[in-house]
Amino acid sequence: MWSKVIKDFWKWFKFSSQSPNLRIGRLGEKYAQKYLSKKGMKFLMRNFRCKKGEIDLVFREGDILVFVEVKTRTRQEGKELFVRPAAAVNFEKRRHIRESARSYLRMLHISQVQWRSDIVEVILDSRERLLLVNHIPGIHLYPWNRKY
């Protein structure tokens, strides 16, 4: 019994001691993972890191590998968001996603696979409750016959 209490406390402490932005980002990743899994995509991994950058979520949809960038924002009560979260994925960020995806494929020794990059926007209210999840597929589409 005590081990469960200690585990639950440690889980709460790790979550609550994170910076607010990191905590909100992790929460957005959980909502995005749940949303995409419900759409029938198979979850493979979270937070793949390499020299080139990080990929938030990796899924498989049929024969296609899907690298997902999650952008989470909070909306204050009575106010609208002026900029969509996906707007933060600029040219430089897209390049990092593409290079990180290629590193992932090289790490697994996969050279002939079709893959794409998606963005998932997650909007939370001021109490960190889910308001909206928006999936934007295909910011990068690559055929299986490209060498990485």
Dump pLDDT digits (tens) for 50-83: 998 899 999 999 999 999 999 998 877 666 666 7
Q: Identify the domain containing residue 93 by its residue range.
A: 20-142
- 80-104 pLDDT, tens digit per residue, is 666 788 888 888 888 999 999 999 9
Q: Say if 43 falls within a structural domain.
A: yes
Domain CATH for 73: 3.40.1350.10
Q: Say if 7 falls within a structural domain.
A: no
Q: Say if 110 falls within a structural domain.
A: yes
Give the chain's mean pLDDT. Answer: 83
Beta bridge partners, 59, equal 43, 66
More confident residue, 141 or 109: 109
Confidence of residue 133 (pLDDT cuts 50, 70, 90): very high
Burial class (CB in 10 A: 0-12, 13-18, 19+), 127: exposed
pLDDT the model gives residue 20: 79
Q: Say if 10 falls within a structural domain.
A: no
- 108-126 pLDDT, tens digit per residue, is 888 788 899 999 999 998 8
Q: Say if 55 falls within a structural domain.
A: yes
Q: Say if 11 falls within a structural domain.
A: no
107 is written with which tokens?
A: 């790490």
The domain tally of the chain equals 1
Q: Say if 8 falls within a structural domain.
A: no
pLDDT the model gives residue 139: 76
The answer to whether residues 97 and 117 touch, using CB atoms and an 8 Å cutoff, is yes
pLDDT the model gives residue 85: 83
Read off the DSSP letter of residue 78: T
Q: Say if 37 falls within a structural domain.
A: yes
